[in-house]
Amino acid sequence: MKGIYRFINTNIPTMGCNLRCEYCYIRQHGDEDSVLKIDTSKNLFKYSIEHMIKALTIERLGGTCMFNISGSGETMLCPDIVKIVKGILDNGHYVAIISNCTISSVIDELIRFSDMEKKRIFIKASFHYRALKQKGILELYSSNIKKIKEAGIAFSVEIVSSDYVLDDLDELKKYSIENFGALPHVLGGRDETTPGKYGELETKLEKKEFYKIWSSFDSDLFEFQYSEFLKPLDNMFCYAGDYTGSLDLGTGEFYSCPGGMKITNFFEDIEDKVVFFPVGRTCPFPFCFCGFFLQVLAGVGREEYNPKYVFSMFRDRICTDGSTWLNTNIRELFSHRCSEYHEDLTFEQKAYITCLRKQIQTAKDLVSSQAFLKEIIVNKLKSNGIRQIAIYGDGKLGKWFKNMIDGSDIKIKYIVDRKYEENVGKYTANVAEIRDVDVCIVTPFADYTQIAPMIRSKNPTLRVIAIQDLMNM
């Protein structure tokens, strides 16, 4: 079985949720009524499922990926979920589904998949004990877990460390042992709304008391989060945007990590490869708040962030009867990191990515403080036989790139931008006019998948590359 080359966090447009958990993040943000309302009348996908599946091939993505599918509400309420899972599996990838495991009709369809397909599925079964009890569907949940296990699909039962469930913990533990053969894993509930506390573990308990209660579940997931949650990043080079990222299945937009910036669109130009773009040393956050999968499974920090954990420790349990929650295949996959299947980038590649990202994130002109990079860029172009170029886009990054090249023996023959109404010197709006250049470098990187096909349609022989891809030539 091939390892996970990229872990794609995949957001499916929600159709709402059948539960109302007190600790739901959507409640924290106050838009529960609109987001969790079940409304199946809208088509929330911009592209057809056939188009999306065609875009998500191993060839375009560079290797076998795991698509970690979740909705903002209940994932399995999406009417197309089975078709999407099937399509991704048919492409040769793995699928993880985050679900409250109460939508039996979908689970029944999944367990009818072939054994080969079921071996490549993992279900993260969120166990919302109070909400299930209140709705009278606790038994429905546990019977679905039994069906999943009997079908040979890997799963993990997980609860959130919420103050709301403290009164029920003894009966929750007893129920779990009796029905799932082991205690659930514990995910630290985060505070997303209190100023100054963003991402911290949410509780009114004293730290010591909080730890004592939740460590009684003996969950490595909880231990990891408790000890690593607020670990500073120390200028770490982060590979999110390359080894992992967040895909919005509704639009195809792909972001470097949850809360990070859009870097491309998977569905716009599906004849071309996807250009990934790591974060480098420009993480905008004080700590890696989803490190339990970004660091431990994707390995975004490589050797610079090396906790003693592997992801299978956060998902597996040995049951009272000796069976396990993970099957052999998924345990093996979850015992490695995506980083193991990628070469580390060179010093030059890392420097370029970080400087480029820093320029995106600031209004200041950074060229003078990044002077060392000029030589790296010019040498790269020259070593690829490039002497004359066109720059597409005369915005912040276009100007940054021009300043990097100016003064060298690489000639900028054209600067192309829609804002130029008539051609003056090298400035033009018309890509069809571009002649005698070795390459056209597209600088609005997030829109490359719209711009590149437009350029190719007007100037088919012109070589076009994205600015973020330059050091990969």
Dihedral (CA of 427, 433, 435, 438) sign: positive
Per-residue contact string for residues 437-466; x = within reach of ligand SF4 by CB under 6 A: ------------------------------
Residues 125-184 that bind ligand SF4 (CB under 6 A): 126, 128, 131
What DSSP string describes 38-61?
Answer: ---SS---SS-HHHHHHHS-HHHH
Distance CA(320)–CA(50), nearest Å, equals: 43
Query: DSSP string spanning 164-229?
Result: GGGGGHHHHHHHHHHHHSSPPEEEPPBP-SSTT-TTSBP-SS-HHHHHHHHHTT--HHHHHHHHHT
Dihedrals φ, ψ of 255, to 5°? Answer: -115, 155
186 binds ligand SF4 (CB under 6 A): no
**Range 15-74, binding ligand SF4 (CB under 6 A):** 17, 19-21, 24, 26, 36, 73-74
CA torsion 327-328-332-335 (nearest 10°) is 50
Window 94-113: residues binding ligand SF4 (CB under 6 A): 100
Residue from 96, 123, 165, 238 touching ligand SF4 (CB under 6 A): that is 238
Residue 460 burial (10 A CB sphere; 0-12, 13-18, 19+): exposed
Of 349 and 403, nearer to ligand SF4 (C-beta) is 349
Q: Which of 53, 58, 166, 233 binds ligand SF4 (CB under 6 A)?
A: 233
The yes or no reply on residue 12 touching ligand SF4 (CB under 6 A) is: no
Tell me the sheet residues that pair with 281.
none
Buried b (16+ CB within 10 A) or exposed e, 419-458: eeeeeeeeebeebeebeebbbbbbbbbbbbbebbbebbee
**Which of 10, 459 has the CB closer to ligand SF4?**
10
Compute the least distance from the CB of residue 208 to ligand SF4, in Å.
Answer: 27
As given in the structure block, the two tokens for residue 124 are 């993260």
Q: Does 467 bind ligand SF4 (CB under 6 A)?
A: no
Judged by CB, which is closer to ligand SF4: 91, or 176?
176
Closer residue to ligand SF4, CB minimum distance, 15 or 404:
15
Q: Looking at this protein, which amino acid is placed at residue 301?
A: G
Residue 450 near residue 268 (C-beta atoms within 8 A): yes
- Cβ nearer to ligand SF4, comparing 242 with 316: 242
Q: How many residues bind ligand SF4 (CB under 6 A)?
A: 24
Distance of CA 461 to the CA centre of its chain: 35
Q: What is the dihedral of CA 115, 117, 122, 126, to 10 degrees?
A: -90
Distance of closest approach, residue 164 Cβ to ligand SF4, in angstroms: 11
Could you tell me which stretch among 281-289, 340-348, 366-374, 450-458 binds ligand SF4 (CB under 6 A)?
Answer: 281-289
Q: Which is nearer to ligand SF4, 131 or 345 (CB)?
A: 131
Contact flag: residue 85 with ligand SF4 (CB under 6 A): no
Nearer to ligand SF4, 68 or 100 (CB): 100
The neighbouring-strand residues paired with 33 are: none
Minimum CB distance to ligand SF4 smaller for 67 or for 113: 67
227/323 with CB nearer ligand SF4: 227
Which segment (171-179, 280-288, 407-415, 423-431) binds ligand SF4 by CB under 6 A? 280-288
Report, in Å, the least distance between residue 100 CB and ligand SF4.
4
Nearest approach, Cβ of 74 to ligand SF4 (angstroms)?
A: 5
Query: What does the CA dihedral 45, 257, 72, 96 come to, rounded to 10 degrees?
Result: 80
Toward ligand SF4, which CB reaches closer, 26 or 465? 26
Q: Using the rule CB under 6 A, is 288 a contact of ligand SF4?
A: yes
What is the smallest separation between the CB atom of 202 and ligand SF4, expressed in angstroms? 13
Tokens representing 88? Answer: 């991704």
The C-alpha atoms of residue 74 and residue 99 are separated, in whole angstroms, by: 6
Task: Name residues whose C-beta falls within 8 Å of residue 117's C-beta, 6 or more positions apart in sequence.
Answer: 86, 89
283 binds ligand SF4 (CB under 6 A): yes
Q: How many residues comprise the chain?
A: 473
Least distance (Å) from ligand SF4 to the CB of residue 466?
Answer: 20
Q: Please answer whether residues 160 and 192 qualify as being in contact, where contact means their C-beta atoms are separated by less than 8 angstroms.
A: no
Query: Residues interacting with ligand SF4, by CB under 6 A?
Result: 17, 19-21, 24, 26, 36, 73-74, 100, 126, 128, 131, 233, 238, 240, 257, 260, 279, 283, 285, 288, 294, 300
